[in-house]
Structure formats: structure tokens, C-alpha cells
Structure 1
Amino acid sequence: MEINQITHEIIDSAYKVHSTLGPGLLESTYQACLAYELQKKGFQVEIEKPVPLIYEEIKLECGYRLDLLVENQVVVELKSVDAFTDVHIAQVLTYLKLANKHIGLLINFNTKSLKDGIKRLVL
């Protein structure tokens, strides 16, 4: 499946979760529900996937985890915050670099309208 179609389906599923649950819940709730919706559609979804940090010749297991990795291509970072900050965007870009992926979605479920809580990031 083409990457744009995958991101479209992820966003479509996020809209379904948001319209059903609304804002104000924990990230872990949205994570479980979004993973469920994507798996129902037949996507391979890895939840809380560990990502090591490699510095020169050492590999550090520092506890970095991708919220969701969809089809081994799209990093999905979920938030339930008042607003995105530069740190949230930097976090996704860093995860993309560490995981050697090119497309990331930053989704904030704590918004009245989910369209205001979605950022597509490319590395």
C-alpha cells in the first residue's frame, strides 16, 4: 500500500476514535483505540515499539518508544495536550531519525476539532 494511502487511513481512523470518545482522555486510551481501529482494517501495528539510540559504536537502550508504528513505515505519536509545542514536533522528527523512517503523524486528541490536532511530518 502506498504511503499516502496509509497515512490517509490512519487519519481516518483517528477521526473515528475522536468522534466516538471526544477530547480529554489519556493518551493510552486513544493509543489502544486507534491501534484497534487500524488492526480491524488489516494494518500491521506495533504498539510502544522500542527504538534504540546508536551513538558512534554503542547501542543504547534508553527507553525510547514509538507510540505506534504502522506497516513498518509510519511513525504515529499521540498526544492529549492543550496544544503542540516545538518539542512535540522535534520528538517526532527525532523518532523518525532513530527508527530510520521518513513519515510521521503527530496527533493531538485533546482538541475540539481533530483537524486542528494533526501534523504530518517528513524527514
Structure 2
Amino acid sequence: MDAEKIGRRNFIRTTAVGAAGTLAAPRAARAQGTPRKGGTLVYGMEGPSDILDPQATGCWLTYRVTFQMFEGLLAEDLTKADVAVPPLIPRLAESWQVSKDGLTRTFKLRKGV
């Protein structure tokens, strides 16, 4: 049999297996109802976090949890792929200044913070 030719039965079998695999694949879940405030957020992790104080932990699992709970004064702008050190962008701080000696930083917070 020529290696470049595929038989009718092999074609049908291969197509059927591919179609079955596609149909068996998990589908994206649809939104369930209207969003609402309150309730419980269930966050699955591979292990326990040690403490919920972002300044006192060194645990990666805790960082992942506290990152979802707290907002910092500044953040790194990770949308700029062409720079070695990402620039800082405001979060809770509207603006900031660094003293001439580099020892003091003054932050102006957003209204309502």
C-alpha cells in the first residue's frame, strides 16, 4: 500500500476518534446568574498557608492568598516586555516622591483610602 494514500476505513476511523475526543473535551462553564456582593469565596490550593500577614510571611502559598486580599501602594507594570526592570504604577497611591537622599518616600493616597 502506498504511504501517501489513506484507505477509506482508516480515514473514517481516524475522523471518528478525533470527533469523539473533541466532543468529550470539557467545555467552558457559563456564568451562573447575576453577580452579587457577599458570600463565600472558595480558593483551592495545594497546601496550607502559614499566616495571612503579607509582611510576615515567606511562604509562596500565603503570598498567593494575600495577593488576592490586599492591594499595595504600587505595582509593577508587567505589560512592558522589552524592559529589564518593570516601571512602577500607582495602585492605592495616586503619586509618590522620593527624597533627594533616597531614604524617605512620600505617598499621596487615593481619595477614600
Report the TM-score range of the alignment, normalised by the length of the smaller protein. Answer: under 0.3
Structure with the higher strand share, 1 or 2: 1
Normalising to structure 1: TM-score of the pair? 0.21
**Structure with more contact order per residue of length (Cα contacts < 8 Å, sep ≥ 6):** 1
Normalising to structure 2: TM-score of the pair? 0.22
Structure with the higher helix share, 1 or 2: 1
Q: Point out the structure with max Rg over C-alpha.
A: 2
